[in-house]
Structure 1
Amino acid sequence: MNQDRLAKVRANLRNQGLEQALLVDPLSIWWLCGYYTEPYERFLALYVPAEGTPTLFLNRLFPEAGGACEDVRTFSDTDDPVALVAQVTDHAKPLGVDKELAARWLVPLMDAGCATTFSLASAAVDDARSIKDARERELMRRASATNDAAMEWLASQVRPGVTELEIADGLLGEYRRLGAQDHSFAPIVSFGANGADPHHGPDGTVFNRGDVVLFDVGCKQDWYCSDMTRTFFTAEPTEHQRAVYETVRRANEAAEKIVRPGVTFAQIDLTARKVIEDAGWGEYFTHRLGHQIGLVDHEPGDVSATHDEPVREGQVFSIEPGIYLPGDIGVRVEDLVIVTADGCEVLNHYSKDLTVLTV
C-alpha cells in the first residue's frame, strides 16, 4: 500500500465529510496498492476507512494480491461479496463510493444497510491522482517521447493510395517496437476535409497528394498515457490554409506560455480561444482546450472556460486548440504539459512548425 497516496485520499475524504469509502476503479486500486486485475462483471473493491488497514475484496478467480494489502478478503462466484463488504463498513456513518460502482452492486449495498447514506466520492481519488509525483512525471515524459518517435513514423507513412485505416492499423506495431504496450485511445487519422471532424474515425478514405493530414494519437507505456496532435500539409499551403494553421499554432503556444501554479484552467482556455476569435474563426473552435491525463487518457478536470480552479504543480494536461471548417480544412495542434513550480514543461518535442511532407 502506498501510504503517501493513501494519506492524500483520506485527507480528501475528510474534506468531503467522509470517514470511509469503497473504491472499485481497477486503476485507482492499482494506484493505491499496486494490485491490478480486470474484473469484468465480477466484484473488485478496496474499502478505505478513515484509520486502520484498508480491505481488498477479490474473487478467487483473480490473481493473488501478494503483499498489496494486509487485509484481503476472497470469495467465490457463488458467494455474496456484498455480505463481505457489510462486515467491514461502519453502518452508522455515510459511505463514499466511486463513479465506477455499477448499480448491480450499489443497490444491494444500499439494501444491506452498509451505511447511513451513500455519496459520490470519486473526487477524493481523482484529486489525489491529479498531482503526479516525480516517478509519475518521468513515466509521462517517457510515454510522450515514444509518441514523438511514433509521429515521425506516421508522417513517413503518408503516400498516394494509402488509406486512413491502413496507417491507423499499423500504429500499434510501431508503438510496441518503440517500447509502449498499447494505444491510450483509438488513433485519429484524417485526410483532407475529414480533419474538420475533431473525432473522425479512420476509414477507407484514400490519401491524395495535396490533402491536409491530421494525426491525433497516444500510447500507453508502463501504465501512463501520452496524447499529441500534429497537422501536416502535403503541398504548398494556400494563404488561407497557412493562416488557419498559424492561428492554431499561436493559440497553442500562447496558452502554454501562461501555464503556472495559480492561473486557472479557464484563463488558459480563454487565452487560446481569444487568439482564434481575434482571427475570426472563434465559432469553429468547437471544444474545450484540453483535459487532464495520467493512467487514462481523459482524467477528470478539464481545461475549459468554465473550470475556475487554479492549476497546481504536478498536474498534467493537454493544450489542443483547433479550427474546423466543414468541407474545407481541420487543424489541431496538441501538446501535453506538466505544471512546474514557476511555469510548465512541454512534454512533446515534435516540431509544431508548418511542415509540408514530401510525398
Structure 2
Amino acid sequence: MYEERIGTVMRNLERRDLSQMLVCDPRSIQYLTGAYVEPGERFLGLALVADRKPVLLLNELFSAPQGIPCNVRGYKDTDDPIALAVGLFDPAQPLGCDKNLAARFLIPLMERGAASGFVLASDVVDDARAHKSAEERDLMRAASRTNDAAMARFKELVRAGATEAEVAGQLEGIYRELGAQGHSFAPIVSFGANAADPHHEPDGTRLALGDVVLFDVGCRQGEYCADMTRTFFFGEPTPKQREVYDTVRRANEAAQRLVAPGVRFCDIDRAAREVIEEAGYGPYFTHRLGHQIGLDVHEPGDVSAAHDAPVEAGMCFSIEPGIYLPGEFGVRIEDLVIVTEDGCEVLNEYPHELEVLS
C-alpha cells in the first residue's frame, strides 16, 4: 500500500519535471509511510529521490513503526539535522518542497546549496491523497457512522440554562465511548445569535427557549476524520427560522444531487448558492461550500467559486451551505460525500428534517 502511494507521488513529481522532494507535513508522511510523528519544533522530513529508497529523517526522541517502506535516519538534539538533510539530495537538481517546510529549515537548506532551486510541490502529494482508496473510503464511512451516532447523543445534552462550553466539554467523552480517538477538530457549539458566527468558539452563553442550537463536530477514527453540522431548534421555531432552515436544507441537497465525476467544484458551489440567493439570503452565505477531507479535516482542494477543476471518483469533501443573520441566528447543514463512478455517496445518515428539541 505505502509503496504504491510513494510510486504515485514519484510519478506526479516526474510530471512536474522534478526528481526529488522533501515532505515535512506529518500527515503526508503518515500517508506515505505509516509513521505519524508530531515533531514540535524539531525537524521532520521524508526525502523522496528518484531511483532511491526514501529516507525518513527524525529526532531520536521519536520512533517509527517496524517495516515502513523507507530507511530511517535518526539524529540527536545536539546534531545538525539540516546538514544531514543536505546530504540526501542532488545539489545539481531542483528540490520539491511541501507547504509545511518551515522557513527556519528552508532558508538554511537554501544557504547550504541543498539543491539548484526550490519549488513548492505540495500538490504532488495532495493530489495523491485526494483520491481515496477502497480502504480509505471504508475508514471515512466508519468515522461518519460514529459521528452520526454521536450527534444523536449530543442533542440529548441540550437543556435550558446549559452553556455552550458545558455542552462542548462533554462531547469528546461520548466520541471515545463510541470507539473514536477523539475530536478531529475543536467542536463548535453555538446557541442563538452565536450561530450567526460560522466559527464561533463555545463560551458561557446559556441556552434559552427559542434559540437555534448548532453543532459542527467531527471525530477521528482509524486516523481518518469525520465532519458534520446539524442545526436544531430549542422550542418551536419562528416562520423566519423555518424559512431559513428549509433554504439551507434545499441548498445542501441541490449540491449533493449535482456531484459526479467531471462536474466542476465551482459548479457544485454554484448549485447551493443559487438556492440561497433565490430565497433572498445570498449575502448571508459567507463562506465556500466545502473542503476536502481525509487524514486531515481540511485538505487542499476546496468546493468554491474559485476552484474550476472537475471532481474525480474517490474524492471526499464536505457540502456545508449556511445562512448567517448577524444578531439573530444562523443555520448550517453539513454532510460528507465520496464521489463515485456515476454520482456520489453521502456518508452522513443523520436526517436533514427540521428537529425541535425540548
Q: What secondary structure sits across from 1:12 in the alignment?
A: helix
RMSD: 1.0
Asked if 2 retains the 8 angstrom alpha-carbon contact of 1:56 and 1:69, the reply is no
Task: Give ranges in structure 1 of 5+ residues lacking alignment.
Answer: none
Instruction: Provide the secondary structure at the position in 2 that maps to 1:32.
Output: helix
Question: Which residue number corresponds to residue 291 of structure 2?
Answer: 291
Aligned partner of 2:248 in structure 1 is 248
- 1:58-114 Cα offsets, whole Å, 9 max, x none, are 222211442213422221111111121222201100000111011111111111111
TM-score by length of 2: 0.98
The corresponding residue for 1:122 is 122
Give distance in 2, aligned partners of 1:36 and 1:252. Answer: 35
Q: Which residue of 2 aligns with 1:67?
A: 67
What's the counterpart of residue 99 of structure 1?
99
Distance 1:232 1:69 in 2: 47
Please give the secondary structure, in 1, of the residue aligned with 2:82. helix
SS in 2 for 1:139: helix
Moved more, 106-115 or 65-74: 65-74
Residue in 2 that maps onto 1:234: 234
Please tell me whether residue 165 in structure 1 is matched to residue 149 in structure 2. Answer: no
SS at match of 1:336: strand
The offset of 1:16, in angstroms, is: 1.5
Question: Residue type matched to 2:67 in 1?
Answer: G
Instruction: Give the aligned residue type for 1:170.
Output: Q
Query: How far apart, CA to CA, are the structure 1 residues paired with 2:313 and 2:269?
Result: 18
The residue number in structure 1 matching 2:87 is: 87
CA contact (8 A) 1:95 1:119 kept: yes
- Relative to 1, partners in 2 of residues 1:235 and 1:274: Cα closer, same or farther, differing over 3 Å? same
C-alpha displacement of 1:41? 1.1
Check whether the contact 2:2–2:69 (CA below 8 A) recurs between aligned residues.
no
Q: Is the 8 A contact 1:264 1:310 kept in 2?
A: yes
Q: Which residue of 2 aligns with 1:352?
A: 352
Secondary structure of the residue that 2:168 maps to in structure 1?
Answer: helix
Please give the alpha-carbon distance, in whole angstroms, between the structure 2 residues aligned to 1:252 and 1:108. Answer: 47
**In structure 2, C-alpha distance between the alignment counterparts of 1:208 and 1:81, rounded to whole Å:** 56
Q: Secondary structure at the residue paired with 1:294?
A: coil
Residue by residue over 1:259-285, the C-alpha shift from the partner in whole angstroms, topping out at 9 and shown as x without a partner, is: 000000000000000000000000000
Counterpart in 2 of 1:138?
138
CA distance in 1, matches of 2:157, 2:70: 51
> Residue 315 of structure 1 corresponds to which residue in structure 2?
315
SS where residue 32 of structure 2 aligns?
A: helix
Distance 2:160 2:236 in 1: 16
SS at match of 1:11: helix
2: CA distance, partners of 1:204 / 1:59:
42
- Deviation of residue 237 (structure 1)? 1.8
Residue number in structure 1 paired with 2:41:
41
| Number of aligned residues | 358
Name the residue aligned to 1:338: 338
Equivalent residues of 2:3, 2:69 under 8 A apart: no
Structure 1 partner of 2:185: 185
Distance 1:86 1:286 in 2: 45
SS in 2 for 1:330: strand
Determine what percentage of the aligned residue pairs are the same residue: 63
1:219-230 aligned at under 5 Å gives the runs: 219-230=219-230
Cα distance in structure 2, aligned partners of 1:3 and 1:69: 6
Once the two structures are TM-superposed, the CA of residue 303 in structure 1 deviates from its matched residue by 0.2
1:116 Cα deviation after fit: 0.2
Tell me which stretches of 4 or more aligned residues in structure 1 moved more than 6 Å: none
Q: Secondary structure at the match of 1:257?
A: helix
Distance 1:69 1:231 in 2: 45
C-alpha distance in 2 between matches for 1:41 and 1:65: 21
Q: Can you list the C-alpha shifts for 1:158-198, whole angstroms capped at 9, x where unaligned?
A: 11111100010000000000011121111111111111111
Please state whether the residue corresponding to 1:324 is helix, strand or coil.
strand
| Residue pair 2:163, 2:207 contacting (<8 A) in 1 also | yes
Of 69-78 and 337-346, more deviation after overlay is shown by: 69-78
Report whether the alignment pairs 1:206 with 2:206.
yes
Cα distance in 1 for partners of 2:244, 2:88 equals: 59
**Does the CA contact (< 8 Å) of 1:130 and 1:314 recur in 2?**
yes
Local SS of the residue matching 2:318: strand
Q: Distance in 1 between matches of 2:56 and 2:69?
A: 7
Q: Distance in 1 between matches of 2:56 and 2:64?
A: 11
State the alpha-carbon separation in 2 of the partners of residues 39 and 65 from structure 1: 16
Distance 2:267 2:2 in 1: 34
Q: Secondary structure at the match of 1:172?
A: helix
Counterpart of 2:21, as a letter, is: A
Q: Is the 8 A contact 2:160 2:208 kept in 1?
A: yes
**CA distance in 1: counterparts of 2:70 and 2:345, whole angstroms:** 38
| Contact 2:33–2:70 under 8 Å retained in 1 | no
